[in-house]
C-alpha cells in the first residue's frame, strides 16, 4: 500500500528539483518564438553573467531568475528576444541510468513508477536521454559566434519595438549602448535598475556600474534609491522611473506597467 503523504512529498521534491531544468527543455528558440507570436518583439540586453541570477525561490517550482521575472511582465507587450554566446550552449545529455541510480532521484523515481510506470519510463528514457539545447528560462534566445554577435544584435535591434537593458557594465553592454546612442535610438531604450533585488558585493558592483554609465551618458539624472530605471525621449532627455510609496506592486510589476503605458500592448 503506497502512503499518499509520502508520494505527495516526493512529488513536491521532484518538482522543485526538475522544474528549472524542465523549463530549459521547453524554452523556445528565437525563431520559434517569432513564428509563434506575431507581435513586434522586445530585445533584452544584459550581461551574460546575470543569466542565472536567482532573485526568488518558489517552494513549488524552485529557483526563479531575475530574467524570468522581467520577461513574465514584458511578455504581456510582445515576445522577448535575447542573444547568447555559442560558448554558453548547454545540452541535455543526462543518461537514464544516471537517473535510476542517482541518490537524489532514484528513490523518487521508483515510487513514481509504482503509480504510473509507463509515463515515468517514457519521461526518463526519451526526454532526458535525448540531447537537446538547454536555453535558460526567460527570453527566447539564439546563440551566435563571438565573431558575428554584433551584426546579429544590430539585426535584432532593427527588428525590435524597444530595448530593455538590465543595468550592468561590461564591454559588450558598453558597445550596445554606444551603438544605440550613435544611431539616435535612445528613445527606444529603457534601462532597468536591479539594485533593490541585489545585496552584498553584487549591490556594490551595480552601484559602480551606474557610476560608469553616468560618465558615458553624462545627461543621466542623479541616482535615487526609489528609482526602478531610466528612459529617454527623442531629444535624449532622461527620466527616472519611480515607484509610488504606497504601491502594492513589485518593482518588476511597476516596470511592466510603465512599459505597457509607454509602448502599448
State residue 1's pLDDT score.
47
Residues 110 and 211 in one domain: no
**Residue 227 domain flag:** yes
Quote the domain boundaries for residue 103.
96-127
* Closest to 54 in 3D by CA, of 173, 202, 185: 202
Distance (Å, rounded) from C-alpha 201 to C-alpha 79? 32
* Closest to 167 in 3D by CA, of 79, 218, 227, 78: 227
Using only C-alpha atoms, the chain has a radius of gyration, in whole angstroms, of 21
**Residue 170 domain flag:** yes
Residues 109 and 185 in one domain: no
Domain of 55: which CATH number? 3.40.50
State residue 119's pLDDT score.
60
State residue 180's pLDDT score.
94
* Closest to 260 in 3D by CA, of 107, 75, 91: 75
Name the average pLDDT for the chain. 76
187 versus 129: the higher-pLDDT residue is 187
Q: pTM of this prediction?
A: 0.74
Is 80 exceeded by the pLDDT of residue 115? no
Q: Which three cell numbers stand for residue 211?
A: 557610476
Is 70 exceeded by the pLDDT of residue 24? no
Is 90 exceeded by the pLDDT of residue 165? yes
108 versus 51: the higher-pLDDT residue is 51
Residues 114 and 213 in one domain: no
Share of the chain above pLDDT 90, in %: 24
State residue 163's pLDDT score.
97
Residues 247 and 187 in one domain: yes
Reported confidence tier of residue 57, pLDDT bands at 50, 70, 90: very low
State residue 264's pLDDT score.
78
Residues 59 and 170 in one domain: yes
Is 70 exceeded by the pLDDT of residue 160? yes
State residue 9's pLDDT score.
57
Is 60 exceeded by the pLDDT of residue 58? no
Q: Picking from 8-22, 35-49, 208-222, 237-251, which range would have the lowest pLDDT averaged per residue?
A: 8-22
Residues 102 and 229 in one domain: no
**Residue 101 domain flag:** yes
Residues 239 and 116 in one domain: no
Summarize the confidence of residues 10-36 as an average pLDDT.
67
pLDDT digits (tens, 9 = 90+) for 226-235: 788 899 988 8
State residue 64's pLDDT score.
74
Query: What region, left, alpha or beta, does residue 239 occupy, with left being phi > 0 and alpha being psi -120 to 50 degrees?
Result: beta
CA distance readout (Å), 152 to 137, 141, 144, 180? 21, 12, 8, 14
Reported confidence tier of residue 107, pLDDT bands at 50, 70, 90: low
* Closest to 178 in 3D by CA, of 154, 159, 155: 154
Summarize the confidence of residues 48-60 as an average pLDDT.
60
pLDDT digits (tens, 9 = 90+) for 168-186: 878 898 899 999 999 999 9
* Closest to 20 in 3D by CA, of 188, 166, 153, 136: 136
What's the number of domains the chain is made of?
Answer: 2
Summarize the confidence of residues 87-108 as an average pLDDT.
54
Residues 224 and 104 in one domain: no
Amino acid at each position: 500500500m503506497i502512503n499518499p503523504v509520502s508520494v505527495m512529498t516526493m512529488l513536491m521534491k521532484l518538482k522543485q528539483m526538475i522544474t528549472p531544468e524542465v523549463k530549459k527543455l521547453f524554452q523556445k528558440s528565437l525563431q520559434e518564438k517569432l513564428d509563434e507570436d506575431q507581435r513586434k518583439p522586445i530585445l533584452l540586453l544584459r550581461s551574460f553573467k546575470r543569466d542565472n541570477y536567482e532573485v526568488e525561490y518558489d517552494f513549488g517550482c524552485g529557483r526563479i531568475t531575475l530574467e524570468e521575472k522581467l520577461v513574465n511582465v514584458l511578455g504581456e507587450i510582445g515576445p522577448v528576444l535575447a542573444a547568447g554566446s555559442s560558448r554558453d550552449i548547454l545540452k541535455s545529455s543526462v543518461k537514464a541510468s544516471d537517473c535510476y541510480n542517482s541518490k537524489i532521484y532514484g528513490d523518487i523515481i521508483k515510487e513514481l513508477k509504482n503509480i504510473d510506470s509507463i509515463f515515468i519510463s517514457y519521461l526518463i528514457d526519451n526526454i532526458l536521454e535525448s540531447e537537446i539545447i538547454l536555453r535558460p528560462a526567460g527570453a527566447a534566445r539564439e546563440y551566435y559566434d563571438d565573431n558575428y554577435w554584433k551584426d546579429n544584435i544590430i539585426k535584432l535591434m532593427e527588428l525590435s519595438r524597444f530595448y530593455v537593458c538590465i543595468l550592468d557594465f561590461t564591454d559588450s553592454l558598453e558597445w550596445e549602448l554606444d551603438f544605440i546612442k550613435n544611431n539616435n535610438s535612445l528613445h527606444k531604450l529603457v534601462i532597468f535598475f536591479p539594485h533593490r533585488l541585489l545585496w552584498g558585493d553584487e549591490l556594490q558592483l551595480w552601484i559602480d556600474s551606474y557610476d560608469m554609465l553616468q560618465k558615458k551618458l553624462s545627461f543621466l539624472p542623479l541616482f535615487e534609491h526609489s528609482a526602478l530605471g531610466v528612459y529617454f525621449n527623442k531629444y535624449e532627455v532622461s527620466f527616472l522611473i519611480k515607484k509610488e510609496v504606497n504601491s502594492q506592486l513589485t518593482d518588476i510589476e511597476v516596470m511592466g506597467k510603465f512599459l505597457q503605458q509607454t509602448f502599448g500592448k
